[in-house]
């Protein structure tokens, strides 16, 4: 048994709209790192990375509202609404300067935070960036907008399991089951988050941010083909291709990712 698991603590913050759940290592040394997860997971996906850097610096991994153990949003929140919930949480924790590492959906929230807090976000590390034009965003919006029908026979459960299984390079029972449980918990949250993501003009937004930026992707990620375009458009960005890991590079390649981002954060702090 890895005793480092016991160093990850869970807690809640009371926000204006509900309770925000998060994981932390309660370290007091160094500049904090904020972790923002993909859809349909939660902060649990970051436990392997947190274990690898448990004594490195303070770490805060939030469950985005609609996911994990955080509150369920009402209505149709925009990506800026998700941003404001994370910002409110960061302020409640008394955090001033910090770094952000984010994956897929989390990258969209992270960019919004870095845009309004360019003096507080010391570096931005984004994995699986949907660097899309409007037509591409509309195409993804169409693909992800259909509601999951909870039929009496429970077929939706098997369909969801098969979909989650297809997102990994090979079958890992623990990871697939965790992703499946996250998807079933966030049936409404997924719809809300995807709608907010595809309504955001991320491609224009990221060009306004001056924070040190690293963009990475697994070679078999949906958006790996966008890395070269990002490199052409953003001259100061650091680009990294990760080996085959589907949507789970943060888990499968936790050690490699931690080593890479730790060096990047150290360089950013020296600027």
In the block, residue with structure tokens 């990002």 = 230
pLDDT at position 2: 53
Distances in whole angstroms, Cα of residue 126 to Cα of each of 30, 173, 186: 21, 27, 23
pLDDT at position 28: 86
pLDDT at position 149: 86
pLDDT in 10s for each residue of the chain, 271 residues? 455 666 899 999 999 999 999 999 988 899 999 999 999 999 999 999 999 999 999 999 999 999 999 999 999 999 999 999 999 999 999 999 999 999 999 999 999 999 999 999 999 999 999 999 999 999 999 988 777 888 999 999 999 999 999 999 999 999 999 999 999 999 999 999 999 999 999 999 999 999 999 999 999 999 999 999 999 999 899 999 999 999 999 999 999 999 999 999 999 999 8
Cα 10 to Cα 61: distance, rounded to the nearest angstrom: 10
pLDDT at position 5: 62
Cα 36 to Cα 267: distance, rounded to the nearest angstrom: 21
**What pTM was estimated for this model as a whole?**
0.96
pLDDT at position 4: 61
pLDDT at position 221: 96
């Amino acid at each position: 048994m890895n005793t480092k698991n016991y160093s990850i603590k869970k807690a809640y913050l009371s926000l204006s709209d509900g309770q925000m759940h998060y994981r932390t290592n309660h370290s007091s040394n160094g500049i904090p790192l904020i972790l923002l997860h993909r859809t349909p997971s939660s902060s649990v996906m970051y436990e392997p990375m947190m274990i690898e850097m448990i004594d490195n610096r303070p770490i805060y991994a939030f469950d985005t509202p609609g996911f994990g153990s955080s509150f369920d949003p009402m209505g149709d929140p925009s990506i800026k609404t998700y941003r404001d919930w994370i910002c409110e949480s960061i302020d409640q924790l008394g955090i001033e300067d910090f770094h952000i590492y984010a994956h897929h959906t989390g990258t969209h929230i992270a960019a919004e935070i870095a845009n309004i807090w360019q003096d507080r976000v010391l570096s931005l590390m984004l994995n699986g960036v949907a660097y899309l034009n409007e037509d591409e965003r509309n195409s993804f919006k169409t693909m992800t907008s259909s509601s999951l029908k909870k039929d009496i026979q429970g077929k939706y459960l098997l369909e969801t399991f098969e979909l989650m299984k297809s997102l990994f390079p090979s079958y890992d029972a623990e990871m697939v089951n965790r992703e499946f449980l996250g998807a079933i918990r966030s049936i409404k949250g997924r719809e809300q988050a995807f709608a907010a993501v595809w309504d955001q003009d991320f491609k224009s937004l990221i060009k306004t941010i001056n924070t040190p930026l690293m963009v990475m992707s697994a070679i078999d990620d949906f958006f790996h083909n966008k890395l070269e375009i990002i490199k052409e458009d953003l001259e100061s960005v650091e680009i990294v291709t990760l080996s085959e890991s589907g949507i789970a590079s943060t888990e499968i390649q936790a050690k490699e990712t931690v080593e890479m981002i730790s060096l990047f954060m150290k360089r950013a702090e020296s600027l």
